[in-house]
Structure 1
Amino acid sequence: MFSRHPDTMKTPCVSLLLGVCVLLLSAPTVSAVSLSVSPNLQQFFRGSSSVYLSCVDDGQTADGWTVKRTRGGLTEDCGAAGSEFSRINSSFCALGLSTGGSFLCVSSSGKQSDEVSISVSEGSVILEIPALPVMTGSDVTLYCTPKEGERRKSYFIRDNVPLGSGPEGKWILSTVQRSDEGLYSCYTDIHPPSPQSRLRVRDLLTPLYPPLSAPPPSESVLRLFCHLVVLCLYCISTGLLLSTCCSRKTPNKPAVSMEMSQHDGGGQGLAEDGDDVTDDDTDDVTTEHAF
């Protein structure tokens, strides 16, 4: 009789478990960390008070994350020498308003949060618009604020299309929907247009702060295709491993056949006179083992 080592029988199952672990570990990790901006605005006048930026996770400071700024194709860490982009602690920074840029949180492993753009204007009017995404169904108020003097009647534009005018430099977006997303600006009768800033809207069923910046459409299609290929390969390999586990059965027990022949060829286990067959009545006994 031949026997198989237990480790040999366990190999396909162990391989299957390792495959599942590798798939889970290789899946993209979604981060809930987002960039917080205070005050929650995108446009500021040059030389005004500082803006404070921090990396937060569910309202708490996220350790191990750093605020970074991108401008002119270069990326700058918070607290860089000789910069107005100063560090208060590991995840909290203050931005002196001399230059703007795009800001985001980056972890030590390279994960990134969403980006927030901040404009520093030398003009005479700015648009006060939220820097962070707003939820669908909420009300948002935009203000056209001059550098000097009181707010006055202002005109608001979205994606270069006039929306209308608002008294006291105010425009209210009621029950915001995704269709309200776009580039907004404003101007008055005596002030040129402000810089453009994008209003971002998030559905109630999606995170308020997307963990990763939205990839270009071509990259999204490629990523979807890669995920489908990986899923198909995983299903095929899993099926093969399961079939291998099921096909490995315990070896058949050895067949043993007994062939007995009587001395005179006519005995069938009992003598003709009804007496039991004795050892003397048996000519020979042949035992055949088939393995």
Structure 2
Amino acid sequence: MKTAWFSFLRFGVCVLLLSAPTVSAVSLSVSPNLQQVFRGSSSVYLSCVDDGQTADGWTVKRTRGGLTEDCGAAGSEFSRINSSFCVLDLSLFTGGNFLCVSSSGHQSEELSISVSGKDVILEIPALPVMTGSDVTLCCRPKEGERRKSHFVRDNVTLGSGPEGKWILSNVQRSDEGLYWCYTDIHPPSPQSRLRVRVDSPSPRSSAPPITPLPPPPSMSVLRLVLHLVVFCPYVACTALLLSIFATSSGNTPVISMETSHPAVQDDVTTEHHF
């Protein structure tokens, strides 16, 4: 009974793992790479890419308010399909989260794009940034030139930047958080989250070879004892055989290998008288 229950439990876990949506290596590309845009500004282009190339069989989708819709779907007023790109019309688009989905259910990471009607926006990357990189945040007014701006992360003021810029140098995971900005004459911008990803090591770099540790002393002594146990009987047997052979050789008479030849008789001259 326990075996049947365990098999059923394993089957259920496998079904859950197979049915759950999987995050794929395919990613969502966005141009311009901004989370905040002004309403009515130029269009935003989205596409699904795999290692820099267009990913076939993938669709850009928007999730908003628990609903999911394809980019460029029939009746959509804010988006259209142009070649392999999903083009957002910022005069009608109201924002949302976007991701790439394959026909088999694989998904990419989501990214957020918001359309603002405020007087100022914070230009912050929509895609995750890599650790160690430098990120420039811009506080951009809807009208007029950029001016001195104040930058805030998670309700903590980072400082002020001339010409509406603030540079985050050598970004780390600790720099993640909700950012916004304001100027002396503009109200705060919408908030957006900066996402930081750990830069993976280059595939060309290889770890140094691992030097095996020397065996502990106890193992060396044990190995020596084992060798002696095997070697000593062999030496004893060899010595015993040599001793037996030497003893046998001492009691056996020496056999001469010389061969005696019959003596050659002297020539005798016999004189016959007739």
TM-score by length of 2: 0.64
Deviation at 1:26, TM superposition (A): 5.4
> 1:51 — aligned with what?
44
Q: Distance in 2 between matches of 1:27 and 1:122?
A: 41
Within the alignment, does 1:128 sit opposite 2:108 as a pair?
A: no
Structure 1 residues 120, 206: CA separation in 2 closer, same or farther (over 3 Å shift)? farther
Q: Answer whether contact 2:180 2:189 (CA < 8 A) is retained.
A: yes
Q: Distance in 1 between matches of 2:38 and 2:19?
A: 43
Structure 1 residues 141, 26: CA separation in 2 closer, same or farther (over 3 Å shift)? same
**SS of 1:102's equivalent?**
strand
- Which structure is larger by alpha-carbon Rg, 1 or 2? 2
> 1:108 — aligned with what?
103
Identify the structure with bigger relative contact order (alpha carbons < 8 Å, sequence gap 6+). Answer: 1
> 1:84 — aligned with what?
78
Deviation at 1:46, TM superposition (A): 0.3
RMSD of aligned alpha carbons: 2.3
Deviation at 1:72, TM superposition (A): 2.0
**SS of 1:187's equivalent?**
strand
Correspondent of 2:33 among 27, 40, 45: 40
Correspondent of 1:162 among 130, 153, 157: 157
Correspondent of 1:71 among 60, 64, 86: 64
Q: Distance in 2 between matches of 1:181 and 1:30?
A: 21
Moved more, 25-34 or 173-182: 25-34
Q: After TM superposition, what 4+ stretches of structure 1 lie above 3 angstroms from structure 2?
A: 25-30
User: What does 1:122-271 align with in structure 2 at a 5 Å threshold?
Assistant: 122-205=117-200
Deviation at 1:123, TM superposition (A): 0.3
Structure 1 residues 113, 76: CA separation in 2 closer, same or farther (over 3 Å shift)? same
What do the CA deviations read for 1:129-166 (whole angstroms, capped 9, x no partner)?
A: 01101110011000000000000000001012111111
**SS of 1:156's equivalent?**
strand
Q: Distance in 1 between matches of 2:62 and 2:70?
A: 6
Q: Any stretches of 5+ residues in structure 2 without a counterpart?
A: 1-13, 203-274
Q: Distance in 2 between matches of 1:40 and 1:67?
A: 16
> 2:24 — aligned with what?
31
**SS of 1:168's equivalent?**
helix
Q: Answer whether contact 2:23 2:109 (CA < 8 A) is retained.
A: no
Letter in 1 for 2:113: I
Letter in 1 for 2:197: R
Deviation at 1:101, TM superposition (A): 0.5
TM-score by length of 1: 0.60
Alignment size in residue pairs: 185
Q: Distance in 2 between matches of 1:176 and 1:26?
A: 36
Deviation at 1:206, TM superposition (A): 7.9
**SS of 2:56's equivalent?**
coil
Structure 1 residues 57, 149: CA separation in 2 closer, same or farther (over 3 Å shift)? same
**Percent same amino acid at aligned positions?**
80
Letter in 1 for 2:43: S
Q: Any stretches of 5+ residues in structure 1 without a counterpart?
A: 1-21, 208-291
Q: Distance in 1 between matches of 2:182 and 2:135?
A: 18
Structure 1 residues 177, 107: CA separation in 2 closer, same or farther (over 3 Å shift)? same
Deviation at 1:87, TM superposition (A): 1.3
Q: Distance in 1 between matches of 2:103 and 2:65?
A: 23
Letter in 2 for 1:78: C
